Amino acid sequence: MSQAFFDTNVVLYLLSADQQKASAAEALIASGGVVSVQVLNEAASVCLRKLKLPWSEVHELLEAVKACCDVLPLSLAVHERALYLAERYQLSFYDALVCSAARGADVKTLYSEDMQDGLVIGSLTIENPFRQSGSAAK
């Protein structure tokens, strides 16, 4: 069982001007974990569209994440489980896809700043790694 799954917002905090959050994200990701292709796609999209980063920096970010994390493909099973999770837990469909991928990866923790901190979905717990003091949880 891998330790944790990282949501897109945690990956993007690697680029943050907020040093506490950037350092916490770096420490978490450096310790290893799992992301999905969806997380990489969303990070690339935000980097290009919102942050206006050059392609070289986008590639650098994604390579750094892929060097530390296992990357799961999207599959029909992930999609179908996400439909159930979105309805059952009232999640946005894209958040449900992340949760579905995390459940498929058999991790205990999904780190996300955007989802409900403490929400338990089966054996998966969502944790905000930036809550309170701004330091990484666990």
Any idea what the CATH number is for the domain that residue 92 is in? 3.40.50.1010
Give the CA distances from residue 83 to residues 72, 87, 91, 98, in Å, rounded to whole numbers and listed in that order.
18, 6, 10, 11
Q: What is the DSSP letter of 14?
A: G
Inside any domain, residue 138: no
Q: How many residues does this entry show for the chain? A: 138
**Strands 124-127 and 120-121: what pairing?**
antiparallel
In-domain check, residue 133: no
Residue 133 banded pLDDT, cuts 50, 70, 90: very low
- Into how many domains does the chain fold? 1
Choose among 107, 96, 110, 40: nearest CA to 71. 40
Range of the domain at 59: 4-127
Residue 35 pLDDT greater than 80, yes or no: yes
Residue 3: the pLDDT is: 84
What pTM did the predictor assign?
A: 0.91
Q: What is the pLDDT of residues 53-81, one digit of tens each?
A: 999 999 999 999 999 999 999 999 999 99
